[in-house]
Structure 1
Amino acid sequence: MPEAVIVEAVRTPIGKRNGSLAGVHAVDLSAHVLTALIERTGIDPGIVDDVVWGCVSQVGDQSSNIGRYAVLAAGWPETVPGITVNRACGSSQAALEQAAHGVIAGQYDVVVAGGVESMSRVPLGAARTTGQPYGPKVLERYDNFQFNQGTGAELISQKWGFSRNDLDSFASRSHALAAAAIDAGAFTDQIVPVPTETGVFETDEGLRRGTTPETLAKLKPSFSEDGVIHAGNASQISDGAAALLVTTPEKAKELGLTPIARYKAGAVSGADPIMMLTGPIPATEKLLSRTGLSIGDIGAYEVNEAFAPVPMAWAVELGADQERLNPLGGAIAVGHPLGGSGAILMTRLIHHMRANDIQYGLQTMCEGGGTANATLVELV
């Protein structure tokens, strides 16, 4: 059976809402990272069998199969196809999974996976402004509950007994680790600077240096008056894109490329759609069972920080080493551009693994509706 390897991974810096990337169309932002892949690998884009692209709010600027139009915007041959996938926040992680599965199945030789979201231009929830989301039978099944991720984060905090200070301490840690990573140049090699009307944008801009539990304590709860979830311990609304080139080891050698990481295994799972955000726990458990590895065998975990209690509960249930959890900070500090986040996290993860000689890395993220992806990669 063929293996799938990632030979290059690039991302834009993450822009805050209405920040440096707000003036860039999502198709053009996608094309920017596609172009960077070709520049870094030197391959002919005409050999790419498919572009599998994640995007969540597929309306307005992000409608009409953005994966296909990103290919055209990048100037690639018209013969290169593209598809856009949506598994909520895990869309571009699902895109990577589909790309790897296609390589392993022998249906792709060279494929690009990635994703984008311009939340400045296509606001969160824009796709739900018309019609009846979820459908009457789903609403009936759950007693007309209004599905809300913030409410789910509150429920997780209650179930696992996380206090407001616990969450704010985790959020402060995210900012501190992200600041340290930026200052150490940990992201320099993976980031593709983006020319904008105001200059060249090259550093994640959501970071708030000096964040502490004391500063976060001043913020009002977002979902209930006596709640513990607020803007400071939740992910930021952001813009960004990332792309990864996936192939076989044999094809990589033929093209003169050196793989960074090998796709080892993946899993997807569903969980309670009301609590919604606990899916990474069963997805990771399924992945570990499938591979025969223990959580202690894995040297770094990227667990998306949609809300602070998500990675916190995951770590408690899996018995994960806190030092290995989101070692570069996360979405609380630098943002969560929905459809691009899965590819961004994997890009961060494999570059971190290479820089620190870490054999195994795991990525998982919660997704709207209660699903989650988990992906295991191995350093080559």
Structure 2
Amino acid sequence: MSRPRTGPMQSAGREVVLAEAVRTPMGKGHPEKGWYRDTHPNEMLAACYDELLARADLRATEVEDLVIGCTAPFGEQSRNIGRNAWLQAGHPPEVPAVTLDRRCGSAQTAAEMGAGLVGSGTHDIVIAGGVEHMGRVPINSPGEISKLYGDPWPAELREQYSFVHQGESAELIAEQWAIERAEMDEFAVRSHRLAAQANSEGRFDAEIVPMELVGETRRNDQGIRPDTELAALAQLKTPFRAENGRITAGTSSQISDGAAAVLLTSRTAANEFELDARARVLDQTTVGVDPIIMLTGPIPATRKLLDRNGLSIDDIDLIEINEAFASVVLAWEREFKPDMDRVNVNGGAIALGHPVGATGARLMATLVAEMERRDVELGLVTMCCGGGLGTATLIERAG
């Protein structure tokens, strides 16, 4: 099978090494039942920082920048949480940080921007990732803030686009690609089954940072339901459409709390500091799509990366596509017709959860660990993002 050794990103700059990738356990984003209910989001992200430095045996002073994603930078997550978490962990103030918002693609974009800093020669060592505490900073926080400080979608913009809830977008996708509810229910069962199997076999151990939460050491994800059955899913209501709806809570990603981060370096720095060159960022892209049926971004993003690297979907050994809603993944499947035994092989956000600002880096951590376990070469991470965006990153095992 033909493999690209140098993608467009490397041909235009330096090789970007992914030296480490970690994440916290994913907790339910519930103010009373969630594992992180008593945990400030700074602590979640700081745990990832500390784990990356410990695994790499790297001094904090060697890190040149922190690029962190967060989709609701309000309250506890405001005022540049990327830096606040670093300082709270006791690390040197000389290391700068930035917090960015590209909706659900925030952490993946953070990693891509970090890769850009390394690839361009601006920095040699960058930590990138994301955090979201949906239990303490709810997903509807932007709406509440808008009541005080103004609408991000004023009349002039609403005249151009009739903005809808993401759940309605998922319903529109199900309609356009003729995806029936039963098919999505089956996909949800698959997600929980694969996640439960991966958890029981210890496949997540390499990526998870154990956390002391509500009196226990947590080493797994709170949202996995091994006993999920089709009969139970069939009884769920369709909250986004009272009549003729297809999307349910069971076929939607879980509201969750969590953090994830990756350590990105130049090849020179990896050699100098004797870091593991676990993988390299071969190529990356972000695309825009219609902001109403806004969750189709993984389709053109995947196509763009495949085309410019001279690849077909069959050349990709493992794929992580975020399970924002079952219809998103199944529409993507209809377009590319991949071998689904290579897609979300350890389940996805329907089972594991989707702390929106962190998921992109979580997907990378899961992908790289599974690529190593299976000893395969090429991997793809792709996500849909609110507002009509799609992200995609092509990752290759580093030699």
After TM superposition, the score normalised by the length of structure 2 is: 0.93
Is the counterpart of residue 245 in structure 1 residue 240 in structure 2?
A: no
Q: Which residue of 1 aligns with 2:277?
A: 259
CA distance in 1, matches of 2:91, 2:263: 15
State the partner residue of 1:89.
104
Measured against aligned partners, the alpha-carbon deviations of 1:152-207 in whole angstroms (never above 9, x if no partner) come to: 00010011111110000000000000011001100012111111232212110101
Structure 2, unmatched stretches of 5+, are: 1-12
- Contact 2:36–2:214 (CA<8 Å) still a contact in 1? no
Are positions 1:374 and 2:392 aligned together? Answer: yes
How far off its partner does 1:253 sit?
A: 1.1
Say whether the 8 Å CA contact 1:265–1:287 is kept in structure 2: yes
Q: Percent identity?
A: 47
Structure 2 residue 147 is the aligned partner of structure 1 residue 135: no
Query: Given that residues 188 and 350 in structure 2 are in contact (C-alpha distance below 8 angstroms), is that contact kept between their aligned partners in structure 1?
Result: yes
Residue matched to 1:8: 20
**SS, match of residue 114 in structure 2:** helix
* Other-structure match for 2:3: none
Where structure 1 has 5 or more consecutive residues not aligned to the other structure, the ranges are: none
SS of 1:38's equivalent in the other structure is: helix
> How far, CA to CA, are the matches of 2:240 and 2:296 in structure 1?
18
Aligned match for 2:29, one of 17, 23, 29: 17
Residue type of the partner of 1:168?
D
CA distance in 2, matches of 1:344, 1:164: 28
CA distance in 1, matches of 2:273, 2:177: 50
Matching residue of 2:4: none
Measured in 2, the distance between the counterparts of 1:4 and 1:135 equals: 41
How far apart in 2 are the matches of 1:124 and 1:33? 23
Tell me if the contact between 2:24 and 2:48 (Cα under 8 Å) persists in the aligned partners. Answer: yes
Query: Of the candidates 284, 287, 299, which is equivalent to residue 317 of structure 2?
Result: 299
1:29 aligns with 2:44: yes
Counterpart residue identity of residue 338, structure 2:
A
Q: Please report the RMSD computed on the Cα atoms of aligned residues, expressed in angstroms.
A: 0.9
Secondary structure of the structure 2 residue equivalent to 1:30: helix
Q: Find 1:172's aligned residue among 189, 197, 205.
A: 189
Quote the offset at 1:332 in angstroms.
0.3
Q: Conserved in 2, the CA contact under 8 Å of 1:4 and 1:262? A: yes
Q: CA deviation at 1:260?
A: 0.7
Which letter maps to 1:35? Answer: D
For residue 159 of structure 1, the aligned residue among 176, 187, 203 is: 176
The answer as to whether partners of 2:25 and 2:220 remain within 8 angstroms in 1 is yes
- Output one character per residue of 1:271-312: Cα deviation in whole Å (capped at 9) or x when no partner: 111111001101111111121111110011100000001011
- Whole-Å Cα distance in 2 between the matches of residues 257 and 228 of structure 1? 48
Is the 1:315–1:321 contact (alpha carbons within 8 Å) kept by the matching residues of 2? no
Q: Which of these residues, 279, 283, 307, is aligned with residue 297 of structure 2? A: 279
- 1:70 alignment partner, one of 78, 82, 85: 85
Aligned length: 378
**Residue aligning to 2:333:** 315
Q: Check whether the contact 2:170–2:328 (CA below 8 A) recurs between aligned residues.
A: yes
Are the counterparts in 2 of residues 22 and 239 from structure 1 also a CA contact under 8 Å?
A: no
1:102 and 2:121 correspond: no
Which secondary structure state, in structure 2, belongs to the residue aligned with residue 175 of structure 1?
Answer: helix
**Over 6 Å off, 4+ runs:** none
Query: How far apart are residue 133 of structure 1 and its match?
Result: 2.2
Deviation per residue, 1:293-335 (Å, 9 max, x gap): 1111001110000000101111110222111111110000110
